[in-house]
Amino acid sequence: MATESNGTQGLTRLSQLRRRIDRWRRTRVKRSPMPPELWSTATELARELGVYRVAREVGVGYESLKDRVGAQGEQGEAGAFVELAGASLLSAAPAAARSEVELSDASGLTMVIRLTADQAVDVAALLAAFRRRPA
């Protein structure tokens, strides 16, 4: 039995959402807000496929969708984005080189760790500790 990959499933769900939103737009009362179930599906897909892509494909405002994704993240959902200063954390660097690790969550709480070349950090453990901190 063949199954669709996650990427193909996401695209299928995106097409379905686009059709549902188009149908709602044709039948809605002028200037009425989009139903919560459509926003909910859009935010789920935005987490999976990206805010810009979903907003563009289904025709909703980028900022509105981004705000909704962020608001749901504040309700306890962990973000999946981690940015590291690339090779400087993984390879030997000159003595004067510095690395920086910055962690932030949807509520805006940020932790920045600055390291010199002779310091090491377990980024995975740091991320785990940051995620399980008390609210």
20-38 residue pLDDT tens:
999 999 999 888 899 999 9
Bigger pLDDT: 99 vs 78: 99
CA distances from 67 to 2, 72, 101, 130 (A): 37, 9, 25, 22
Question: Whole-model pTM?
Answer: 0.50
Whether 80 is in a domain gets the answer: no
- Domain membership of residue 81 (yes or no) is no
Assess whether 12 and 68 both reside in one domain. yes
The mean pLDDT value for 98-120 works out to 73
The three-class DSSP label of residue 84 is strand
Alpha-carbon distance of 121 to 113, in angstroms, equals: 9
Provide the domain limits for residue 17: 6-74
Angle at 108 between CA 105 and CA 114, to 5 degrees: 75
